[in-house]
Amino acid sequence: MPPLDDGAPALRLEGVRRNFRSGKRVIAAIDGITASAAHGAVTGLIGPDGAGKTTLMRLIAGLLRADAGKIEALGIDVARDPLAVQARIGYMPQRFGLYEDLSVRQNLDLYADLQGVPADERPARYAELMHMTALGPFAGRRAGRLSGGMKQKLGLACTLVHPPDLLLLDEPTVGVDPVSRRELWQIIDHLTRDAAVTVLFSTAYLDEAERCDAVLLIHEGRLLGAGPPGVFTAELAGRSFFASADVGRRRLQERLARAPDVIDTVIQGSRVRVVTAAPTPPAGAALAADLPGLTFAPTPPRFEDAFVARLRALDPGAPPAAAPAAPSPAAASPAEDVIAVRRLTRRFGDFVAVNDVSFHVARGEIFGLLGANGAGKSTTFRMLCGLLPPSEGSLRVAGFDLRRAAASARERIGYMAQKFSLYGDLSVERNLRFFSSVYRLFGARQRRRIDWAVAEFDLASQMSATARDLPLGFKQRLALACALMHEPDILFLDEPTSGVDPLARRDFWRRINALAESGVTVMVTTHFMEEAEYCDRLAIMAQGRVLTAGAPEAIKAAARTEARPDPTMEDAFIAMIEAAADAPTQALRP
């Protein structure tokens, strides 16, 4: 039976504080959070990586002890009686907590044993869970052989095997394909509606805030705001617009970002989304003179707008000055294919990681590979960088055939790996020196490039800090600087903005745009649907195949239906995956 709602919240945090030690430094992972979550509601714990989401989840689950403050879950003091809390909660850690050598059924049996589900109740409960997660046909399959989306659903089923009163889900949707993500949300809706479960859901995807009943927005261990998502967006009523003008969208964004009263600018399709400080669109003679044909259309605010507005309010002294694009000799040359991939296939044993993939990228273009974890993006990337030989197909990068002249091609490539391959124990300056010397830059030329990087990426304030201790956004900038030391024509970015806060992501993309304007060809992988909007063209990948490729606007337009006149990139992605799944059945029809 669900507990009676006596008005007390299902979860109460009072001045919770938790520090971690890193060498001699003490880092406040949770820096005094007071908040609550209502019974039977979905509360979203939203914030970028390093905000403290996982720490907070673990504190609530009794896995960590708070240094100060009080946590009450379902009316029980967690610090005093963690076992009593653990008997009534379900907790799914980031990696789902599954035993990969065990079958779906054996995983369920284990958690049923551990949670004390009586044997006679199991058949009914299993049937319900199998129906909910659609895992029934796979009951005998080992968990390790399931797809990412199915693992996530099995992880959820294991935490639900004994119906919990409070369900803690730690980033269940990050890196999972959008179809599975939608199905997970359907399960959560069902749980809160029919079983009155209280759900605490952490995520770095800001668009998921709008699906929650209430949001706890955290940033750097502090609560930045709490309440229904509508409260956040209401503050911004009348302050967001779509701008268009008769200039390139990147120029439009760059110019608008410098206008007074503008808080945020983001490229979305062919237009630029603008958030202003006051409920009027930016105006002024100078602006109109620079941007002929400038028009603004009002648009409803998003949760992300609210987050950015709050972050800007915290740190008003950081207006993003657009980086002047360094002129590159490449800018002058005519449009040509810098990257040409034809029928590329890569097999690992009998597993086909990349299956018959073809695309091409022109000079100065930003090309995106969009897909869930395991879609084949990183494998494609490694082949493009000459780190992995293809099984079949041809690859030309900067005019070199990668099968024959990988080393020559690599000199023209800058590569920024996932998680930024920096030397954590070295200072910022040493990292810059090392990476420039790797690219055979010495003496005056090396000094010039380091000076350029320091000025361009605003690194001067932290030159002697060790890379490990830098904030995530700063690390990202340093990693980009290191990848650009040898002035490459082509830049490969593997999940570059995964988990960084929206300001750091904007800052990063502003630099990437400037590079593309100067003629550098940029290829980027991402599982953030929105990030795909920054690309000139993109390819959507799933299970090693390219489902579709084209400009973001065209891809979205293809998914337009009467019921959905203005589809998002995620809608388009889902439509594409469903179409791919239907295709074989259609082919069989007479």
Partner 1 sequence: MMASLRRLRGLLRKEFLQIWRDPSSLAIAFLLPAVLLFLFGYGVSLDASNVPLAVVAPHPSALAASFASAFEQSPYFRPQRFLTIQEAERAMANRQVQGVVWLPSDFDRRAASGGNSPIGLFVNGVDTNTARIVEGYVQQVWADWLATQAAEAGRPAPLPIALQPRVRFNPAVKSRDFIVPGLIAMIMTLSGALLTALVIAREWERGTMEALMVTRVTIREILIAKLIPYFVLGMGGMAATVALGVFRFEVPLRGSLWTLTATSSLFMLAALGMGLLISSAARTQFVAAQIAIIATFLPAFILSGFVFDINSMPWPVQIITYAVAARYFVAILQSTFLAGDVWSVILPNAAALIAIAAIFLGASRALARKRLD
By beta-carbon proximity to partner 1, the closer residue of 9 and 93 is 93
By beta-carbon proximity to partner 1, the closer residue of 13 and 59 is 59
Q: List residues bridging with 217 in a β-sheet.
A: 46, 225
By beta-carbon proximity to partner 1, the closer residue of 112 and 287 is 112
Per-position x/- string for 137-156, each x denoting binding to partner 1 as judged by CB under 8 A, each - no binding? -----x------------x-
Among residues 10, 11, 61, 482, the one that binds partner 1 under rule CB under 8 A: 61
With CB under 8 A as the contact rule, which of the stretches 83-91, 176-184, 505-513, 562-570 interacts with partner 1?
83-91
With CB under 8 A as the contact rule, which of the stretches 36-44, 60-68, 329-337, 462-470 interacts with partner 1?
60-68
With CB under 8 A as the contact rule, which of the stretches 62-70, 258-266, 297-305, 463-471 interacts with partner 1?
62-70
Q: What is the DSSP string of 162-217?
A: S--SEEEEESTTTT--HHHHHHHHHHHHHHHHHS--EEEEEES-GGGGGGSSEEEE
| Kind and range of the H or E run holding 29 | strand 25-37
CA dist list (Å): 322 to 63, 90, 268, 286, 326: 44, 47, 18, 17, 12
Q: In angstroms, what is the minimal distance from the CB of 154 to partner 1? A: 12
With CB under 8 A as the contact rule, which of the stretches 81-89, 221-229, 372-380, 489-497 interacts with partner 1?
81-89
By beta-carbon proximity to partner 1, the closer residue of 10 and 413 is 10
By beta-carbon proximity to partner 1, the closer residue of 158 and 339 is 158
Per-position x/- string for 155-184, each x denoting binding to partner 1 as judged by CB under 8 A, each - no binding? x--xx-------------------------
Q: Which two tokens stand for residue 38?
A: 């209502």
Per-position x/- string for 84-123, each x denoting binding to partner 1 as judged by CB under 8 A, each - no binding? --xx-x-xxxxxxxxxxxx---x--xxxxxxxx-------
CB atoms within 10 A of CB 159: 21
Residues 6+ away with beta carbon under 8 Å from 128: none
Sign (positive or negative) of CA dihedral 171, 176, 178, 184: negative
CA dist list (Å): 314 to 58, 307, 489: 27, 11, 37
By beta-carbon proximity to partner 1, the closer residue of 85 and 529 is 85
Total residues interacting with partner 1, rule: CB under 8 A: 36
Among residues 27, 63, 195, 362, the one that binds partner 1 under rule CB under 8 A: 63
CA dist list (Å): 196 to 10, 430, 576: 11, 55, 34
By beta-carbon proximity to partner 1, the closer residue of 113 and 582 is 113
Q: In angstroms, what is the minimal distance from the CB of 198 to partner 1? A: 16
CA dihedral of 198, 203, 205, 208, whole degrees rounded to 10: 0
Q: In angstroms, what is the minimal distance from the CB of 140 to partner 1? A: 13
Among residues 47, 50, 62, 364, the one that binds partner 1 under rule CB under 8 A: 62
By beta-carbon proximity to partner 1, the closer residue of 33 and 89 is 89
By beta-carbon proximity to partner 1, the closer residue of 8 and 102 is 102
In 3D space, the residue among 390, 444, 438 whose CA is nearest the CA of residue 414 turns out to be 438
Q: What is the DSSP string of 204-257?
A: S-GGGGGGSSEEEEEETTEEEEEE-HHHHHHTTTT-EEEEE-SS-HHHHHHHHH
Q: Are 521 and 489 in contact (CB under 8 A)?
A: yes
Q: Which two tokens stand for residue 297?
A: 């259309």
Q: In angstroms, what is the minimal distance from the CB of 98 to partner 1? A: 7
Query: d(Cα 542, Cα 539) in Å, to the nearest integer?
Result: 10
Does 83 bind partner 1 (CB under 8 A)? Our answer is yes
Q: Are 472 and 419 in contact (CB under 8 A)?
A: no
Sign (positive or negative) of CA dihedral 445, 447, 450, 451: negative
By beta-carbon proximity to partner 1, the closer residue of 73 and 441 is 73
Q: Which residues of the shown chain bind partner 1 in the complex (CB under 8 A)? A: 58, 61-65, 82-83, 86-87, 89, 91-102, 106, 109-116, 142, 155, 158-159
